[in-house]
Amino acid sequence: MFIIDTYGTAVLFCLITMLCWGSWANTQKLAVGTWRFELFYWDYVLGIVAFALLSALTLGSIGEGGRSFLADIRQADPGNLGSALWGGVLFNAANILLGSAIAIAGMSVAFPVGIGLALVIGVVVNYLNAPVGNAALLFSGMALIVVAILLNAFAYRRTATSTTGLSTKGLVLSVVAGCLMGLFYGNVAQAMFPDFAVPQPGKLSPYTAVFFFSVGILLSNLLFNTLLMRRPFVGTPVHYGDYFRGSSRDHLTGVLGGMIWCLGMLFSILASDKAGPAISYGLGQGATVVAALWGIYVWREFRAAPKGVSTLLNAMLVCYVIGISLLIMAR
């Protein structure tokens, strides 16, 4: 299977993860107005599963390093398969709640609270499981990224109109989503053998782990998204028949979004071999600010911003760049 062998490549993969995790939501924005979130999410999940399987059958099955995908499945311990599946269930629950929180309270509440909390929990949990890197630099970088996220949140609040209120329901959903989002990565990491070049009996390769992670997302979505369709947090109920009335563009947009997110997940997992799970996850969760940059410069969400918001945004970018640099140096 294909694996990376240098820390520099691992950092590059982490940066690509940030871009993917911070950019996939553009596909959801493209679907707004013609396609409900609940319907979009079915295709998004299918895109994740399709990309995970494709990568496992190609990159995960070539070369002499590690162990090929099909051989890895045959020897896998059920407990490790279950850990990867459970990671997918946790992620799916978190992602659906976060999307609902955005619809209720807006990005100014949902993203900083949810993803900011996920960043803190995820880095701590992954570092405790695999303490790789300088702790002082690691947690200093994490703190600066959290500051950047909070500055971004304040900029959104300053720009919000008087009709945009803070919903208690949206805030609670954001907190729950953040707690779940911070835990999923550790379950996937624990299922894998730590040195990807040296397979261990019963443990999973990164490609096998990501595939079963995606299966966990798919299986849990049959329950989670069905419930959300019947009792949505926002809007009227939707039905399965509505999904089949969607256009090819609607469906392909969702699938593309899922594939982009899964590319980021796979690269984050591959990078964890040389960078360590905490650094790999922490860099990836910096995607919140990447998403903000899309909103600022492409979707122009701050075009009506009051005086002083540009200063907040510049401070956010400075904290973000310094924080990322500290995470890279921590290794």
pLDDT at 106: 62
Q: Which residues of the chain have pLDDT under 70?
A: 103, 105-109, 111, 160-167, 301-302
Tokens linked to 174: 């954001």
pLDDT score of 86: 97
pLDDT of 17 reads 95
**Cβ–Cβ under 8 Å, residues 138 and 278:** yes
**Residues contacting residue 36 through CB under 8 Å, at least 6 positions apart:** 235, 238, 242
pLDDT of residue 166: 47
Please report how many Cα atoms fall inside a 13 Å half-sphere around the Cα of residue 136, on the Cβ side: 0
Say if CB 323 and CB 142 are below 8 A apart. yes
Pairwise CA distance, residues 73 & 312, whole Å: 49
The pLDDT of residue 105 is 64
Report the 3 state secondary structure along 17-71.
HHHHHHHCHHHHHHHCCCCCHHHHHHHHHHHHHHHHHHHHHCHHHCCCCCCCHHH
Query: Three-state SS for 269?
Result: helix
Structure tokens at 271: 């990078």
Give the pLDDT of residue 123: 82
Predicted pLDDT of residue 162: 38
Q: How far apart, in whole angstroms, are the C-alpha atoms of residue 198 and residue 46? A: 31
